[in-house]
A = this chain, B = another copy of it.
Amino acid sequence: MKTESGMAMTDTPQLVALFTDFGIGSHYLAQVKARLLQMNVTQPVIELCSDAPAFNPRASAYLLASFLPYMPDGTLFICVVDPEVGGGREAVWLKTERFWFVGPDNGLLSQAARHSQQVMAQRIDLPDLPAHAKTFDGRDLFAPAAARICTGSIPKGRVIAPDHLVGADWPENLAEVIYIDAYGNAVTGLAAGNLPKEQVLLVNGHQLPYAETFCSVPKGMVFWYENANGLVEIAANQGSAKASLTLEVGCPVRWADT
């Protein structure tokens, strides 16, 4: 299904985007950036998402994939949602027709790979790195790997078939809350394009109709809509769907029989 080779690897990234559960504004992010600068990365670095669901590579995988259509060609994503850091999980880097990805092979990159046409995957193998901490691969392994890609010296590693990445067998849609934003809006892992607008959803015992946008429903009313990244999102007009429906990451979303 995916081609594993034939990609020109001579180009370099234009932008580095950090996708992590490090916590918004955390010093972990800064330490990753400092390491990139130390290793002569001159590309701009942005914190795409720093509050990905903590310890939850599965929910995070669907969130990451939803951002991709809106990111510039040539973005390199450093992805860290990594509860098994320091244990046995492998580290990988991917190259697709538009992007690079560096991160743990724990499913986090699986949905990004699914939505790409061409995927080349390799183990990260950097034996010349200095001894480093057991618990901060973002700074000590993924940032150096990213820096080498950014500076044109691609790390060599064992090629992996994309179908062998962890999470390659996960479903295309995840009928759960995968993220809650600062307004209290709850993003799900469901592609909205698949869902008829007349479908009523059932979440925590509440029936939720579709609306096109916030101000098309009364203030405080909870509804679902297609968010700006194409996913089904549960929201309230000028209110918090999280508080109104007691939502949290992992809450299942069902189809109401209406």
Contacts and interface: CB of A to CB of B under 8 A. Distances in A.
Given A15-B37, A213-B85, A213-B135, A181 B26 contact: yes
A192 B67 CA distance: 40
Contact of A47 (B30, B37, B38): B30
Interface of A: 14-15, 17, 22-28, 30-31, 33-35, 37-38, 44, 46-51, 54-55, 67, 70-72, 75, 83-87, 133-136, 139-140, 181-183, 212-216, 225-228, 237-238
Contacts of A85: 213-215
A84 B213 CA distance: 9
Lowest 4 A-B CB distances belong to which pairs? A23-B182, A24-B25, A86-B213, A136-B228
Nearest to A240: B54
Q: Considering residues A34, A84, A86, which has the most beta carbons from chain B within 10 angstroms of its beta carbon?
A: A34
Contacts of A47: 25, 30
Contacts of A139: 70, 228
**Chain copies in the assembly?**
3
Contacts of A28: 181
A interface SS class:
loop
7 contacts: A17-B34, A85-B213, A86-B212, A86-B215, A87-B213, A135-B225, A135-B227
Given A30-B49, A83-B238, 8 more contacts: A24-B24, A27-B181, A30-B48, A31-B70, A38-B72, A54-B182, A86-B212, A140-B228
A215 B46 contact: no
